[in-house]
Each structure stands twice: as structure tokens, then as C-alpha cells.
Structure 1
């Protein structure tokens, strides 16, 4: 294994098979290195194994073979340096706790003092724009606000790596665009490493520094990586943006996957 930057993610020849048969892998030959602080996108058609790979990185499911390292240490399960942001925030929030209590929940479990918990939750409630809603219960929030609460709670626990599994897929278009812009602002502020799963080409180009495109499943692998060097914030109407969009779209069309990705 080559020497890598501290806190980077290194995956070598990773595969996953649910029945133990190598010729029936869900994903295979995954080779990837993500440096610290990068915003990396996993893009591909539905059912290609993006979420499977993300859940292996999270430690929620085990790999069947290959190597997986974070900060040059082999990973065998979940760790506090990683945190997942799910597509459905209702599954992650406690309905009987208000916004602030949800954000502070992990800190409370770690026995962080009330004064320090309040200071940390203040910081992240401001960061996600929810300072005026701290006493509301999840049922009183919109979908976008719930997703902000989930993000604030994850950030409050200060993981090095954010894993995001199509987190904006259930939001309406306007809310989605707003939250995308907020995520870029938060990432720029925190310098966290982000691995973001989507099947939306526009979203991938809008957010990511690099885009890893997965092939059709089963037996999916990362068949191409695109470097996106456009400055932030990105303008989806700019010619340079649309040039990249057409290039990525042509990749899917050339591989018979265009019907399974989102296009605008």
C-alpha cells in the first residue's frame, strides 16, 4: 500500500457477496483513495451498489474481501470518526426530543457536561440555521429542517468523515437546492471529508470535487472518476457546468445506464 495522507480512506480490491460466492458479488474490485477533507461523490444507477459500498465504509455491513483503511489503520466495524446522514431524517431523530435535545443526544450519551453540550449545540444550530427552532419537536418541522437537525447532530459529535446516502432525495426541488447550498457552506467551514451517494448527475456536479461512477450491478465497480475543478458556488446554468454535465451524461448513455440516473 502506498503512503497516504493522514486520515485518508484507502480501499483496495474490495468486494461484497451476500452468499459467499465470488461470481455473485454485489460490488467488486473497488479501488479508491479519498484524501482528508475531500468532497467525493458516488454516482450511479439505482441498484448498482452505491449504498452497499457506503455501508461498508460506515462499518454497518462487513466486506467479503479486500482491504479498507482509514488513517492507515484497517477498518473492521463502525468508528466514531465516521457518521452517517440518512435519506429519511425521521428514522434518525427522536420524536419525543426537541431540536436542541436531538442535537445534543450523542454528547449526552458521552457524558459531556450540560454547559459544554449547550455551547456545542449552539454552534451547530447556528451553522444549519435552526437557532430559532431549538424548542420545536420533529413533527413541527419541514422535511428540510429535519434534515438540518440530523446534520447538526452528526456535526456536534465531530466525526472526521460524513457519509451521506442520498440525503436530499425525499425533498422538493426548491428545498433540495437550498440544502445543497447549505451543505457546501458547512463543508467549506468544517473541512470534513464527505462521501455522498446520489443518482442525480446535476447534484453530483454541483457538490463534488471528484465523482466516482459505478457500473451497473451486480458485480459493480468504480469504472471512472471525474475531477470537477469548477469553483464554488457552482452555477448550473454556466456553460462550463453544462460541458461537464454532457460529458458525464454521455458516459451513462454509452454504457446503457441513462434510464436509471436523474437528468434535468
Structure 2
């Protein structure tokens, strides 16, 4: 691929956010209540970006605005040159609870192929695509099972395979491992990094767990406490993959980010 073509492709899926705002309620002009206010961010194509912050700070709201599920109240939000106004095939969301997104009456393969079937893809092609992504997420041989027969981690793998089968450029992940036990969660973190590196998708991953953020992300955007939350600071994470909590530099980064939240907490207490 030429450098010009690569630059064009990267620009096509770059997410640019300028002065983004979201208000709520029926507040009168001059007395607006903001969920998020003046968010500025650029996420590069192919990047693994983390949105990190405490519960209630607007992380999921921002993610849903990027997905096109929630309309902005002001500011600019674009993917490439296109303003985000509605959901699009270039963006797909992986939710925390796989149970609510999988169809219990369909098999694993049926769930993965659902969007492809609705799009008119022929059966043989659907089978080829589902085989590929079931293998990619470690579920080869499980296509005939139903969701009720799967563990929580396996259900999340099915959800991820279904999303990947639609070939979106951007994965928006809203605390997808939050409901899993610690061992399964670590396994899924490793699997996600492997899949991201193999597919070169852009990933925006929401979490409130500093350790998870450091294990996964190339950059970590710290969201301030709500209301009127914004991205207060962005940390670069240069640690090489695969990552381990015992690796040199991990503890230093962890302490820096933890210190950020402790300082913010102290400022709140002084008000």
C-alpha cells in the first residue's frame, strides 16, 4: 500500500471531537445542566484508546455519542470528513452485558451470522465469515451451541465475533468485561489485544479500572468527575505488548494515574 493511500485510509476513520457538549433536563437558557462539556479529542485510525474515569462521569454518554445513539447538544464530532448524526456500519458497539444483545433462540453461529443474513449475504459466504471470526475469538467448534449453554466469557466472545463479522472500522466497547470474574476478564483482555493487533481496528474502550486501562490502551484519556465532565488529561502508554502488571514501568504509570484521581478527589473535598 502506498504512503498516500495509507494516509487516506487512516484519515477516513479518524475521530475528531471539538468542544463537544451534551445537556440534559429542561433547564432554561443560561441555566444549562451539562453531562459533558467542551470535550476535545482526536483518536487516530487503528489506535487503541481508553476512556477512564469514575462511575457517572459521562464515559458511556461520550461513547454513545460517537456511536450515534445520542445526539450532541453542541460542538463537533466527525469520523473522517462526515459529521456523526446517526449510527453507521463503520462503528459497532460491544456492551457489558452480552445476555441483552444475543438472541437466545439462535445458535452461536446464527447470532454471528444474523447481520450478514439481514444484509442478504449468501449462506456459503456467511458460513465462511462466521467460521473465520469464531476461530478468531476462540470459539471454533462451538457454533451449534445456544447462548444458555455458554459461560459469561464465551457469550462476550460471541458478541465480539458478531460485531467483527460486520467488519466495522471502529469498535466502541462499554466496559465489556466488567461483569466477568477476574480470571476470565484477564483472558479476555489478552484476547482483545490479540484481535486488535490482527485486525487493526480502531478501539475506544470505556473502563473505570486503571489496571485494565494500562493493560490495553496506547493512550488513556482521563475524564473528570461529572457533571460537566471533560477529558482532563491524556496519558501515553509506551509499554510493549503483551503487557503484564509486573513489567518495569507499569507501577509508575499506575501511580501517576492514581495520583491524578486522588488530587481531583482532594480538590472536590476542599470545595
TM-score normalised per structure 2: 0.92
What are the residue-to-residue correspondences of 1:80-229 with 2, within 5 Å? 80-229=89-238
CA deviations 1:18-48 (Å, max 9, x no partner) are 1264631000001010010000000000000
Q: 1:231 aligns with which of 214, 228, 240?
A: 240
Give the whole-Å Cα distance in 1 for the aligned partners of 2:113 and 2:215.
31
User: Which residue is equivalent to 1:15?
Assistant: 21
- Counterpart CA distance in 2 for 1:76 and 1:131 is 37
Q: What TM-score do you get using the length of structure 1 for normalisation?
A: 0.94
Other-structure match for 1:261: none
The runs of 4+ residues in structure 1 deviating greater than 2 Å are 3-6, 19-23
In 2, the alpha carbon distance for the partners of 1:51 and 1:8 equals: 20
Displacement, 1:235?
Answer: 1.2
Q: Give the Å deviation of 1:6.
A: 2.9
Query: Which residue number in structure 1 is paired with residue 4 of structure 2?
Result: none
Aligned to 2:69: 60
SS of 2:24 mapped into structure 1: coil
- Classify the secondary structure of the residue corresponding to 1:17: strand
SS in 2 for 1:256: helix
Give the Cα separation in 2 of the matches to 1:19 and 1:97.
39
Task: Find the counterpart in structure 2 of residue 38 from structure 1.
Answer: 47
CA distance in 2, matches of 1:195, 1:44: 14
Q: Summarize deviations over 1:178-231 as a string: whole Å, max 9, x none.
A: 000000000000000000000000000000000000000000000000000111
Question: Superposition RMSD on alpha carbons, in Å?
Answer: 1.3
3-state SS, counterpart of residue 168 of structure 1: coil
Query: 1:247 aligns to what SS in structure 2?
Result: helix
Q: Which whole-Å CA distance do the structure 2 matches of 1:206 and 1:131 have between them?
A: 26
